Structure 1
Amino acid sequence: MGTMTRGRSLALRWGVQVAMALPLAILVGRWLMMAGGVSPLDAGLTAEPVAETINRLGLWALRALWLALAITPLRRLTGWAWLAPWRRPLGLWAFAYGCIHLLVYFVLDQGAAFDLLWADVVKHRFILLGMATWLMLLPLALTSTRASIRRLGGRRWQALHRLVYPAGGAAAIHFILRVKGFQIEPWIYAGLLLTLLGMRMVPRRRIKV
Structure 2
Amino acid sequence: MTTAQRVNVALRKVPSWVVYLIGAVIPFYYLYLALTGAMGVEPVNSLERALGELAMQALVVVLAVTPLRKLTGVSLIMHRRALGLLAFFYVACHLLVWGVLDVQDPARMWSDIVKRPYITIGMVGFVLLLPVAATSNNFSVRRMGPMRWRRLHMLTYVICVSGAVHYVMVQKVWEIEPLIYLALVLALLAYRIPTLRREFAA
Query: Structure 2 length normalisation: TM-score?
Result: 0.85
**Residues 2 and 79 of structure 1 are in contact (CA less than 8 Å); yes or no, is this contact kept in structure 2?**
yes
- Name the structure where helix makes up a greater proportion of residues: 2
Picking from 152, 159, 170, the partner of 1:167 is 159
Shift of 1:196: 1.4
The alignment yields a C-alpha RMSD, in angstroms, of: 2.3
Question: Aligned letter for 1:94?
Answer: A
- Paired residues for 1:93-112 under 5 Å: 93-111=86-104
Q: 1:29-67 deviations in whole A, cap 9, x for unaligned?
A: 22443xxxxxxxxx2212111111111111100000100
Greater shift in the superposed pair: 85-94 or 71-80: 71-80
Summarize the Cα distance change of 1:194–1:16 in structure 2 as closer, same or farther, 3 Å threshold: same
CA distance in 1, matches of 2:77, 2:21: 18
Question: Aligned letter for 2:31?
Answer: V
Question: Aligned letter for 1:29?
Answer: Y
Q: What residue in structure 2 maps to residue 44 of structure 1?
A: 38
Picking from 3, 24, 27, the partner of 1:24 is 27
Picking from 75, 89, 108, the partner of 1:116 is 108
Aligned length: 191
**Residues 12 and 78 of structure 2 are in contact (CA less than 8 Å); yes or no, is this contact kept in structure 1?**
no
Q: What residue in structure 1 maps to residue 53 of structure 2?
A: 59
- Paired residues for 1:121-140 under 5 Å: 121-140=113-132
Q: What residue in structure 2 maps to residue 84 of structure 1?
A: 77
Structure 2 residue runs without a partner (length 5+) = 196-202
**Residues 69 and 87 of structure 1 are in contact (CA less than 8 Å); yes or no, is this contact kept in structure 2?**
no
Question: Aligned letter for 1:56?
Answer: A
CA distance in 2, matches of 1:11, 1:158: 25
Structure 1 residue runs without a partner (length 5+) = 34-42, 204-209
Query: Structure 1 length normalisation: TM-score?
Result: 0.82
Identity, in percent, stands at: 38
Superposition misfits of 4+ residues, deviation over 6 angstroms: none
CA distance in 1, matches of 2:147, 2:194: 22
Q: 1:77-117 deviations in whole A, cap 9, x for unaligned?
A: 2344x421121111111100000111111111121x22111
**Residues 141 and 149 of structure 2 are in contact (CA less than 8 Å); yes or no, is this contact kept in structure 1?**
yes
Q: What residue in structure 1 maps to residue 66 of structure 2?
A: 72
Query: Relative contact order, CA 8 A, sep 6+: which one is greater?
Result: 1
